[in-house]
Each structure stands twice: as C-alpha cells, then as structure tokens.
Amino acid sequence: MPDPSLPASTTPVQDYLDRPARGATADHLVVPRSLAQSMPLRWQQVFVGLLADLHDAYAELPWPDYKVVPSRWERLVDLDEEQLQAAGYVTDLDAEGRLEYHDAADQPIPDPERHKVLAPIDDPLPRAADGRVEPRPAAPL
C-alpha cells in the first residue's frame, strides 16, 4: 500500500500535461483568460497565488511576450488561402494543371489529402470581455 505522506509523483504537472490536456503543448500551457476568470472564487484565489509564486520565483528570467493563436489540426486540402499562408504553405499548379501544395522550403507535399497541419481558426471560446462563463459542476470525489 502506498504511503499517503509521500507524493504520488515528484513531477505532477509534467505527468498531467504529458497526457492529452486542453491548452497544453510540449513547451507551453495556455489557460483561456475568460475561463480562468469564470472559475469559482476559491479556485481563482488559489490560482492567483500559484501564478504569483511562479512569477516571483522566475522573475529574473527574460520572459518574452507571447502571441497565442487559436488553432486546430486540419488536412492541408481543407485550408483556405489565409490559413495556408499562416501555416506556411502555398499552392501552385503543376505542369498538368493540378493543384500542388508546397511547404515554406518550397518542397512539394506528396500526399496533401493526408497531410495535417496546425491551422489558425476563429477562437471558439468566449473572450474575457464577454463576461462570466458558467462552469459545469465538478463530479463528486
């Protein structure tokens, strides 16, 4: 039986984010502000405390500004011109007049029907300025 005084893991954030988690990539975690601001008051208080500790502990690092772009994985052939450009792809006609897809290095994409890329989309989540987003009640423990 595990000892309850010992943590189940010494890397719980990594463990949680290494599995599929909304807003998580290999290097970053994005928390939509509208959802964070809509959490119950106690959650917000705990969350703000954790953020303050994080920012204080790493204040000396040269934090960049981030541009977060809502995106989802789409088949290359389903993108419009604007999405193609934002994802770094272009189309051209080959010698026979067929549509050909090229990446940023001008290399042709051999199977564009199956090639998936992270493409920008309109944000499906409400903006923070839109007000509170009512959370779904948590499941009982």
pLDDT tens digits in sequence order for the chain, 141 residues long: 767 777 678 898 999 999 999 999 999 999 999 999 999 999 999 999 999 999 999 999 999 999 999 999 999 999 999 999 999 999 999 889 989 999 999 999 999 999 999 999 999 998 888 888 888 777 786
Domain boundaries, position 39: 12-63
Distance between CA atoms of residues 11 and 8, nearest Å? 9
Q: Please report whether residue 85 resides in a domain.
A: yes
Same domain, 100 and 59: no
Q: Which amino acid is at 20?
A: P
Q: Please report whether residue 129 resides in a domain.
A: no
Q: How many domains does the chain contain in total?
A: 2
Q: What is the pLDDT of residue 2?
A: 67
Distance between CA atoms of residues 12 and 65, nearest Å? 26
Q: Please report whether residue 139 resides in a domain.
A: no
